[in-house]
Amino acid sequence: MGLKKAITSSLEDVIEKAGGCAVVDGGFATQLERHGAAINDPLWSAVCLIKQPDLIKRVHLDYLEAGADILITSSYQATIPGFLSRGLSIEQGELLLKKSVKLAVEARNSFWDALKVTPDHRYNRALVAASIGSYGAYLADGSEYSGCYGPRVDVDKLKDFHRRRLQVLVEAGPDLLAFETIPNKLEAQACVELLEEQNVQIPSWICFSSVDGENAPSGESFKECLEGISKSNKIHAVGINCTPPHLIQSLICKFKELTSKAIIVYPNSGEIWDGKAKRWLCFDDENFECFATIWRDSGAKLIGGCCRTTPSTVQAISKVLKG
């Protein structure tokens, strides 16, 4: 899969063009809500693929204007089973997955075309990363923050869950694949094996979350979690997302000891998400501009934001990283 795709701008290329540390976009659902979207839905931000696709493109443009070098698609919570539960057909669900990539590509292309009249701009042509959320994100029960999938979930079940979505997203032609908020070794293993079995040629990254700054949510050490990833040539970067900012520096240092892959971090705003109650707790207004330089100097090659971060967050990161 993906053999016919000519990768003219790899992950490594965009890092180099950005001066050694590329900027990833920020929180998607938060910005959708700012534009008036109603996302209190099991599909979360992916519900806008059905109801308000114009807002998705608008959010992508917001992040491009803020200086993002990489756009992540709105497919994090978009799954075939999830769409089926809404009464859509398999074909309709697959078209919506492809639409998530199409909207990001269209936003990127229109933004880049508009820059042609200002040749002295400081933007890079952004890459589009197709988001692949964890099994726990589909369950929408908070298990992507615990890694507790139960005894009946094994590596084959997880591969079966991810397989068709991965195939459809690859067919849509993104520049990158982003496996996000992975909570345990088992799912990381499933993702790597699936990329190998499908012979996916599109560069991928895998991001874990962490609740203690030491281990994966499952309690497994990152040494255990990264063993299979570090050996795979399908994975070009590994890191952390949706984790409080104050935990990130130590995790970057830990990952540097464990892998030679590029390290990507895009933490949340510092608030705490209660997955069962589905609400945010304990707002913590950290200074991302200050943190970004620390993370870069500690070894991160890609930096952005996750839940509750905004284009202003990404603009601050871009400003301090790119000067």
Binding-site residues? 242, 306-307
DSSP string, 213-252: SSB-TTS-BHHHHHHHHHH-SSEEEEEEESS-GGGHHHHH
Annotated binding site for Zn(2+): 242, 306-307
For residue 95, how many C-alpha atoms fall within 13 Å in the half-sphere facing its CB?
7
Structure-block tokens of residue 245: 């900012």
Question: What are the DSSP E strand ranges found in the chain?
Answer: 22-23, 70-72, 127-133, 176-182, 204-208, 235-241, 262-266, 272-274, 279-281, 302-303
| Token pair listed for 70 | 């990489």
Under 8 Å CB-to-CB from 310, ≥6 apart: which residues?
Answer: 26, 27, 30, 31, 34
